[in-house]
Every structure is written in C-alpha cells, then in structure tokens.
Structure 1
Amino acid sequence: QDTSCNQQRTIVIPYVGTILGGLVPGELIVIHGSVPDDADRFQVDLQCGSSIKPRADVAFHFNPRFKWSGCVVCNTLEREKWGWEEITYEMPFQKGRPFEIVIMILKDKFQVSVNKKHLLLYNHRISLERIDTLGIYGKVQIKSIEFVSNSDPFLWKGERAERGGCKYQGVLKMSSSFTINLKSSDSKDIALHLNPRLKNKVFVRNSYLHDSWGEEEKEVTHFPFSPGMYFELIIFCDAHQFKVAVNGVHTLEYKHRFKQLEKINVLEVTGDVQLLDVRSW
C-alpha cells in the first residue's frame, strides 16, 4: 500500500497514508469519491500516527452517518478516549452519488465543504504539528486524495462573467483583499462594490456612479473572512437592496443606489482570491 496521500486511482479502503511534510494553515485536502448504495457510515480521520494498539490519537474525526435522516459527527480521540461530539444535522452526501470533500486547514480550525458548499467548522483540539496520517474507513469508495498548498499559482485577476452571478465560491489567498463588482456594460457605473480587506478586517461596500465613488459603508457585526479560508458568498437582490450571506450566515444589506437593476449584466472579480465557481439564478 502506498504511503503518500497524493493518489489518482481507486484507493483500497481502509486507507491509511502518511501526510508527507505534515499540515500547514492554508492547505487543502481534496477527496473525491462516491457513497455505495448500502452505506451506513464512513469516516475521514486526521491522525497522530497509525498505531492500532494503543490506538493513535485522532485530531479530526469526520464521520457521516446515514441512518434516519443522516448527520455528520465530528470529534477528537485522545489517549483512546473520545471527546464531545459536534453534530451537523445536514447530510450533503447521497447514496450512489459522487462527492468532493475539501478540508481547509486554518490556523485555529478545520473548515469542511462538500460538493463546493460550506458544511462545518471544527476548532483544533490537538495541535496541527502532531498530525501526520490520513485514515479513511467504512463504506465508501475513494477515487483520489490530493493536497493543494496555498502557494499553488491559481489567482484570478480582472476576470469577467456576463450576467452577474449571485453565488460565488472561492478560497482566499494569504494576502490582503479582493473585490466583487456588479456593473452595467453600457457605462462605467458600479452598482455594487464589495471589498473585504483582511488585514484590517473591514468589509467595504460602495457604488461608482456618475464618475465618482459614493460614501463607503463598513459596518458589519462580524467580519466573516480569514486568510486561506474556503468561502461561499451569496448575493440576493430584491427590489430595495442587496443582501449578502457568507457561508450561510447573513452578513450585510446594501440599499440600491443604482436603480436600473435590469442593466446590471457584468460580474467582475479581482484580487487575492482563487475563484472556484460562480452561479446565477
């Protein structure tokens, strides 16, 4: 059995592989696989070694369970004793269907998305430095396991998509800021300018109308971004305002200053962000 976790073929389960070089903040673990029709549960464990007796500590135990309506249980095993369970009563996996799990390593927590949708956060209970093994067990089929470092050179600069999307998914680079603009193609006007600035934890909103910027709006109860994190940002447009949610949590509202909403047909994304997906509906 291979001990490297970068795999591109069908992987035998149970799988236990060494994490070469350990884990660092900003790194992604990307797992592609599928759930068998008879699955009852499976688990992905970030372990401190591979000992069976005594059982190695498990820093992060990610355990989808399919009984009843289904849930995802997360926990930590230390000195052969489980801690308190953190249960997410949402089941993003479907029997007989493929999936993509992305585990983002952050300085103080793990962030998990499934099929490009944010699922959960789990605070570290064991230091990252101790994690050196990835284990996958249970009724699951795994096609590939990949590690993506934060130095991988995928950066969007000034890309545009017609018909401004409402849902954005991406990964923040370990840097300062990024911008989302909703614009009209027949003028210089910017109906909505979103500019999260990570260094100062400021979320700027504004509009560019008649060749000048308006007054900035900065108030937000909680700054939702951190360097290296995976995020899903949704912009909902109603008759009076834009509403913005990040990772499923309502973050802000912005009253329309640009009134001709039907003319907004350009999306512009710039800055230090890796854009994974854009959708509109």
Structure 2
Amino acid sequence: MSSGEKLDPLPDTFILQPPVFHPVVPYVTTIFGGLRAGKMVMLQGVVPRNAHRFQVDFQCGCTLYPRPDIAIHFNPRFHTTKPHVICNTLHHGHWQVEARWPNVALQRGDSFLILFLFENEQMKVSVNGQHFLHYRYRLPLSRVDTLGIFGDILVKAVGFLNINPFVEGGSEYPVGHPFLPKSPQLEVPCSRALPRGLWPGQVIIVRGLVLPEPKDFTLSLRDKAAHVPVTLRASFADRTLAWISPWGRKTLISAPFLFYPQRFFEVLLLCQEGGLKLALNGQGIGTTSLDQPTLERLRELRISGSVQLYCVHH
C-alpha cells in the first residue's frame, strides 16, 4: 500500500463500540451503526436498596425537544404493591398500549446482568442468565440509534456486542460475560491456561482495542511441550491476516483486514470437529484444520502485540 493511499471507511457492521464503565445516570449515548437483528446490549449493575424505578430506552434520536420516539422502553418498577416491568413504545409524543410483566426478576439491593438481544421481529431480555420477557417491535429497529438509561440504578458497565456468528438461525441467548476494566491480569502479553485442552463447541473470545501505532497482533495456542500448532497473526505493515504453521509457513486468510488503529475488535475461535472456525467483529471469516487429539493437547492461550485487552474468555 502506498503512503498516499487512503483506506476505505470501516463498514458500520464491523464497528464494535467500546464498553462504558461506571457511567453517571442519567446516561445517554449513541449506538454506533444503530441497532439491527443480531446485536446485543449488555447492562451490568446494581439495584439500590431504596430504588423506586429505572428505565432503559432505545431511542430514535437524542433531541430534548421535540422528544424523540422511543422504540423500546424497558421500565422495572419496585415501589408498587406488586413490583413489575413495563415495556412500551413512544410514537409522536404518545405512549402506546403498555405491556406488563409481573414477578420482576430484579430485586432491590441485588447485582444483575441484563442482556437485550435484538431479533428480526422482537427483543428478548434475559436477567442473570434466565429468559425474562420478549417484546415485539412497534417501530422499525433500524430507526434506533441512541441508548438512554434513567432512574434508580447503579450502572457498572454497558457493552455493545455481536452475537455468536457461528449459530445460524439460533434464537438462544449468547453467553454474556461481564465486562471488566483493564486490570493486571489482562496486561499484554497475556497467557491463559487451558486445563482440558479444546473440545467441540468451546469458544475462545478476545476483545480489545488496537493501539494508535500498531505493528502486529498474535494469538497462539500451545501444548505442554511449548509447541505452537496454531497461530493467528495480524500484520499491520502489509495489512494481512494469516494462520502460521508450526514450521513458519504462512496461509493468508482471504477476508477484509478489520484491525484498525484505535478501534475495538472482537476475535472468536470456535472449536469444532476437524479444527477451528474464526470470526472477527461478528463476521465468520475462516477456518483452520486440526485433528481432535491435537486440539485436546493444547494447554495455553497466549496473546501478544499492539493491543489493549478488555476480555479474554474460554
């Protein structure tokens, strides 16, 4: 690439929005690229012991006046005789018929992890890993571009995620893992033990931020003898993504190079019979072949390069 060549803008579908830690409520933020089926918003926090109510609004804009339409209004209420959750839609300044769910899955004083999973026709909500409700859209999901959080709630983290790109037509909730700020355990290079190796169905998730002047990014899997049968390497000098064999042979991955300076990224490796499938920023982009005995012998995940890490899960 010549020094004067300009990069194509990164498509909205590839943008992963940075997580937000301990925002001050009321909190309003833009949803990068808007909402679409297949996105998920994760909310981690605590319900204060004296909470009356709080709301999470997926808005069509962020103006103060006129008030924007609210495609999805999620509103737990604790101060009534029978605590409940209201979902509704605000259109042209008028609330529509509310939908009500009794037996609130949230309790005053408790921590929670709420997942909002957006499908083609409806939003599904889980609380602490259990399905709680679903709400059919009354306004087009494509109009939503703003998240608002208001009321009696202590928010620890907000995350914007893509669901598992390997599950075609699946409607189950992806596993949600709470975000944590960068800590000593996530310093780069980062090493994580794989006590039982890798088995079909296991997913490795790495989320982070590319540094301003990156050189490379490497994810490797090693066995007990420190052999490295699997290496994924991104080179920023020639903007290539490749599998590196144990003998140093490079196999280029024929896919757009989606690592950008000061942009967030998500790498997923899905273990299946016969090898590993790779996804980057929610898009499945390649595979590498490995037999099951080799996968089972892998005992270490190592990450290095020009990145900050927010999450490493396996």
TM-score (norm 1): 0.54
Per-residue deviation, residues 188-238 of structure 1 (Å, max 9, x unmatched):
xxxxxxxxxxxxxxxxxxxxxxxxxxxxxxxxxxxxxx5344289xxxxxx
User: 1:96 maps to which residue?
Assistant: 109
1:227 equivalent among 167, 170, 183: 170
* In structure 2, distance between residues paired with 1:128 and 1:272: 31
User: 2:19 maps to which residue?
Assistant: 7
Per-residue deviation, residues 143-189 of structure 1 (Å, max 9, x unmatched):
1110111356xx7xxxxxxxxxxxxxxxxx2x1xxxxxxxxxxxxxx
Q: Is 2:19–2:158's contact at 8 Å kept on the other side of the alignment?
A: yes
Number of aligned pairs? Answer: 165
Structural mapping, 1:112-261, within 5 Å: 112-150=125-163, 173=167, 175=168, 226-230=169-173
Q: Is 1:5–1:17's contact at 8 Å kept on the other side of the alignment?
A: no
1:54 equivalent among 50, 53, 66: 66
User: 1:159 maps to which residue?
Assistant: none
Q: Is 2:59–2:146's contact at 8 Å kept on the other side of the alignment?
A: yes
For residue 124 of structure 2, give the secondary structure of its aligned residue in structure 1. Answer: strand
Runs of at least 5 residues in structure 1 that lack an aligned partner in the other structure: 156-172, 176-225, 233-268, 275-281
Q: Which amino acid aligns with 1:97?
A: D
Q: Is 1:43–1:62's contact at 8 Å kept on the other side of the alignment?
A: yes
Q: Is 2:57–2:148's contact at 8 Å kept on the other side of the alignment?
A: yes
Q: Is 1:26–1:227's contact at 8 Å kept on the other side of the alignment?
A: no
Compute the RMSD of aligned alpha carbons: 2.5
Q: Which amino acid aligns with 1:30?
A: M
Q: Is 1:47–1:59's contact at 8 Å kept on the other side of the alignment?
A: yes
Q: Is 1:59–1:125's contact at 8 Å kept on the other side of the alignment?
A: yes
User: 1:205 maps to which residue?
Assistant: none
* In structure 2, distance between residues paired with 1:229 and 1:24: 17
Q: Which amino acid aligns with 2:24?
A: V
Q: Is 1:118–1:231's contact at 8 Å kept on the other side of the alignment?
A: no
TM-score (norm 2): 0.49
Task: Rate the CA distance shift 1:69–1:270 in 2: closer, same or farther, 3 A.
Answer: farther
Q: Is 2:53–2:77's contact at 8 Å kept on the other side of the alignment?
A: yes
Q: Is 2:163–2:174's contact at 8 Å kept on the other side of the alignment?
A: no
For residue 129 of structure 1, give the secondary structure of its aligned residue in structure 2. Answer: helix
User: 1:241 maps to which residue?
Assistant: none
Q: How far has the Cα of 1:272 moved from its partner?
A: 10
Q: How far has the Cα of 1:8 moved from its partner?
A: 3.9
Q: Which amino acid aligns with 2:125?
A: V
Task: Rate the CA distance shift 1:229–1:59 in 2: closer, same or farther, 3 A.
Answer: farther
* In structure 2, distance between residues paired with 1:147 and 1:73: 23
* In structure 2, distance between residues paired with 1:52 and 1:9: 24
For residue 92 of structure 1, give the secondary structure of its aligned residue in structure 2. Answer: coil
* In structure 1, distance between residues paired with 2:33 and 2:143: 11
For residue 134 of structure 2, give the secondary structure of its aligned residue in structure 1. Answer: strand
For residue 21 of structure 2, give the secondary structure of its aligned residue in structure 1. Answer: coil
Q: How far has the Cα of 1:69 moved from its partner?
A: 2.5
* In structure 2, distance between residues paired with 1:24 and 1:69: 34
1:79 equivalent among 61, 82, 92: 92
Task: Rate the CA distance shift 1:59–1:127 in 2: closer, same or farther, 3 A.
Answer: same
Task: Rate the CA distance shift 1:28–1:66 in 2: closer, same or farther, 3 A.
Answer: same
Per-residue deviation, residues 21-58 of structure 1 (Å, max 9, x unmatched):
11121211110010111100000000000112111000
For residue 73 of structure 1, give the secondary structure of its aligned residue in structure 2. Answer: strand
Q: Is 1:76–1:125's contact at 8 Å kept on the other side of the alignment?
A: yes
